[in-house]
Amino acid sequence: MTGKILTRLSTSLFAVLGIMILVFFMIHAIPGDPVDNLLGEQASGVDRENMRKNMNLHLPLHRQFTIFVGSILDGSLGKSFVYPGRTVSSMIFEVFPDTFFLAVVSMFLAIIFAVPLGVIAAMYRGKFPDSISMVIAVLGISMPNVWLGPLLVLLFCINLGWLPPPGSSTGISGTILPAITLGSALMAMIARITRSSMINVLKQQYITAARARGLSSLRIIIRHALPNALIPVTTIIFLQFGALLSGAVIVEKIFARPGIGTLVLRAITQRDYPVIQGTVLVIAMMVVSVNIISDILYMIIDPRIGRKQS
């Protein structure tokens, strides 16, 4: 298992390095000049040249990339063009708790709704509850965040007035709708996987033996079937947590919430290259880290996986 973990770490390192190189050069290939954004087109040539030197934009791309790598090694991730003196890492750490909180609440809501939905669908396979559960799952996957979010705002904030409008609160009440929007697709995915896994488990001989001993259906589901059925579900949950962190970009914009998503979108608008590079790198590292942790936990939960892959 140790060899598998080391191999996974090395491949992940190359993935992060590739993302870092790709993001850096793609940003510099996009039309637009940070100097024009800050000084305006009417600025004098001297002011523009001084500003360009302060930002190191007068250097060749390979030198700028070297400076970017150095900022990663010292932990600062560079300094913002728009907010002089502020390091990118400090700006990310300032808003990261909001994004992490949103992702955790989204995951929690997805799990508490999806797992019972998948279990009920498996227990009543081919019957009406199964059909209803799968319709809900399909709707969750089919509805894009950019449509579902405004619809929830219109219904619960404007028409019913049950929840605060976007941008007015980052507490629990202000996180419910963003969490539902962000976690809807994950809820549908977990429900479908739970259903499939439960159906396979309910066919096993030890489940038949438990029924022969006269155990109640509820006891069989909770004590025997569900723990084994949740093994693949657990893997999906950890893998998708990284996707929640990156998917929060659109949701934070829709609901006017502070977070990494809002930070990177504002940086794109302002042509703040260091902030864009730093936030994308952090998001990529979070996704890769969560994937590694999920692989390790999967091998711990089911050691046969580690033996097969070693």
- Size of the chain in residues: 310
CATH class name, domain 91-309:
mainly alpha
pLDDT band at 90 (very low <50, low <70, confident <90, very high): very high
Q: Which amino acid is at 202?
A: L
Quickly count: other Cβ atoms within 10 Å of residue 104's Cβ.
Answer: 15
The amino acid at 169: S
Would you place residue 232 in the very low, low, confident or very high pLDDT band (cuts 50, 70, 90)?
A: confident
Contacts of 155-158 spanning 24+ positions with Cβ under 8 A = none
Q: How many CA atoms lie within 13 A of 211 on its CB side?
A: 9
The model's confidence at residue 7, banded by pLDDT at 50, 70 and 90, is: confident
Q: Specify the pTM.
A: 0.79
Specify the pLDDT at position 300.
67
Dist CA 298 CA 241 (whole Å) = 15
How large is the average pLDDT for residues 76-96?
A: 88
Give the count of beta carbons closer than 10 Å to the beta carbon of residue 44. 9
Annotated domain spans of the chain: 2-73, 91-309
Whether the pLDDT of residue 298 is over 80: the answer is no
- The pLDDT tens digits for 248-289 are 888 888 888 888 888 888 888 888 889 988 998 888 888 788
Average pLDDT over residues 95-124: 89
What does the mean pLDDT of the chain come to?
82
